């Protein structure tokens, strides 16, 4: 995204209206791939905690570096802001709780 597009988005007159759908996302460490580390408050995820031993959990992602939120969204509309540091590639998405975690 160009700086101009980002500035236009931040100056969007509809932004305050969208922000009323703000949700707080808390990550569930029980679902996190074993190479992802979730902070104690559940608001941050780091990659590359090699050597970290995590207990087996049937809810844990095994093949893809994913983590789910502890709670799903309760409304059809939601808004969230994220901060990404130290990464050139990352993904953000919304998934059903029934997502395949083993393949």
By the 8 A CB rule, do 30 and 57 touch? yes
Identify the band that residue 1 occupies on the pLDDT scale cut at 50, 70 and 90.
low
> Is residue 98 over pLDDT 60?
yes
**pTM (2 decimals)?**
0.74
Could you tell me the fold of the domain covering 1-93? Jelly Rolls (2.60.120)
Per the CB < 8 A criterion, the answer to whether 26 and 70 are in contact is yes
Give the per-residue pLDDT at 28.
Answer: 93
**How many Cβ atoms from other residues are within 10 Å of residue 57's Cβ?**
14
List, for residues 31-70, the tens digit of each pLDDT value: 999 889 898 899 988 887 654 667 888 999 999 989 999 9
Q: First and final CA of the chain: distance in angstroms?
A: 32
Write down the domain spans for the chain: 1-93
pLDDT digits (tens, 9 = 90+) for 85-97: 887 888 888 888 8
């Amino acid at each position: 995204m160009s700086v101009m597009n980002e500035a236009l988005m931040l100056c969007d007159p509809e932004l305050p209206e969208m922000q009323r759908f703000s949700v707080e996302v808390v990550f569930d460490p029980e679902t996190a791939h074993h190479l992802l580390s979730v902070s104690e408050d559940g608001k941050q995820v780091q990659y590359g905690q090699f050597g970290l031993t995590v207990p087996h959990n049937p809810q844990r992602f095994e093949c893809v570096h994913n983590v789910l939120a502890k709670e799903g969204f309760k409304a059809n509309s939601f808004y969230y802001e994220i901060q990404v540091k130290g990464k050139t590639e990352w993904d953000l998405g919304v998934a059903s709780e029934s997502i395949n975690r083993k393949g």
